[in-house]
Structure 1
Amino acid sequence: MNDTLDYFESSFEERPSLHNLLTFPIAYAYSANYALPLSHDEVVHGKKSLLDKMPGTYEQKFAGLRILLGYQMTHPGKKLLFMGGEFGQFIEWKDQEQLDWMLLDYESHRTMQKYTADLNQLYLEEKALWELDHEIEGYQWICPNDYLQSIISYIRRGKKTGDTLIVVINFLPVTRENYRIGVPRAGTYVPVFNSADPVYSGSNETENIVTAQSTNKIPWHDQKQSIEFTLPGLSMVIFKKETKRTKRTEGGN
């Protein structure tokens, strides 16, 4: 929690030099069974709410919170999100008052709530996010060291090969065109979740759409196959190899 929040509170300019805060937690992730709390202790006493911790513009703050929750949900360990974080409460938690439910009158907060609900549904549906949560076989880096672009990518696995997910997170507000990652098997990879999808961001920006990608026989990241796609700024995209049973979530495109 501390490393992650320190990173997310940092400015975009600082993030390349703080990249180790994203990669170090995996070094000890399998030494115990961890809970991953974004708890009330971190949203009181002048520490700011999760949304207000994020740098940037109003829109970038929401995008940052979406990738924070996406990073939490796809990281090994069990999850705890404190009330108010799910719809992006702007002010700190107050123990003598209720949450600011009136914020749901605003589109950005409504879509944030929908995003959190869809992310929870994805977690329930995708066994790779929990089936091997406490075993090292359930996680593999694709690329942990793209610090100059502040991007990480990794594999989450379930017990069946067909459950494998590819997670790519861009921590800067810069769209990366022709971004290539190695993948474990040949085929077509479908985006089953995209945090920058217009259904969540409240925008109609077509550049935030991520489409299915066929592999190329170009070795990359110690893999024999790779895919190339446009990665939106401040986004988390999850790919899954297409099969007859592959399902896309509502925010998958």
Structure 2
Amino acid sequence: MDQVQLTTFQAVIETGSFEAAARQLHVTPSAVSQRIKALESAVGQVLVRRAKPCVATTAGQALVRFAGQVALLEREALAQARDRTRVSIVVNADSLHLWFLPALAAVPGPQYGLHTDDQDFTADLLRSGTAMAAVTAEHVPVQGCRIEPLGAMRYLAVGASPELVPMIVYNRKDQLQHRFLATMDRPGNPPVHYVPSAAAFIEAIRLGLGWGMVPESNARPDIAAGHYVEMVPGTHLDVPLYWQYWKIDSALLRELTAAVKAAAAEALRR
């Protein structure tokens, strides 16, 4: 497969347009267009959906992963020095806030690009090729990826008073509160406040705006300090987490995987 065409395809998907890719590659938009057409002709399928922004088609998503894998291996082979290698990772906000960063600190050198999403959706960025690795709740490996169990993050339902309305939710993807209500056989649609920040989410509960699911390591000290109470004492919700990463022979990904598993072993429940 033509490496120049592959690099151009990756630039179009990363930047979102033929013009931006041209600026990044220091060529004309016409050259970018010709390279993409040639690559699509070689593959026999449309790879780029010409929209604003440009996105990979279903056929193109596998090629995005492949292009990223080739680029990673090439950088490792040429650089040997890690300061030229960029590693893109998607991680849920609670893990990023509580335990994930020490894993990155244990593997200095690469340039890290972090994305956040709900743990039930982080694997989507692996599928699209945007991320090389993910902390995810998805236990089925994404095609072309390896998977390692990390443990479970335990959540407690807490609030200023033991009444289950209103509800604090991180964003519209966050289903932890609804899952907890279902385990209590109390489904429904209570009033909701959306607070898309791990720190502000906890602060909103402390201020009495509503109740929500808070990681146990955050919740226990606040309960002891009287900032809020358990809504249903003795209950919890465990969310198993997994580390999924590209299935390539990369020394860097192996070392990072070991660091992530070590950090998770300190913070998560088995």
TM-score (norm 2): 0.26
Between the two structures, name the one with larger relative contact order (CA 8 Å, sep ≥ 6): 2
- Give TM-score scaled by structure 1 length: 0.28
* Higher gyration radius (CA): 2
Q: Whose helix proportion is higher, 1 or 2?
A: 2
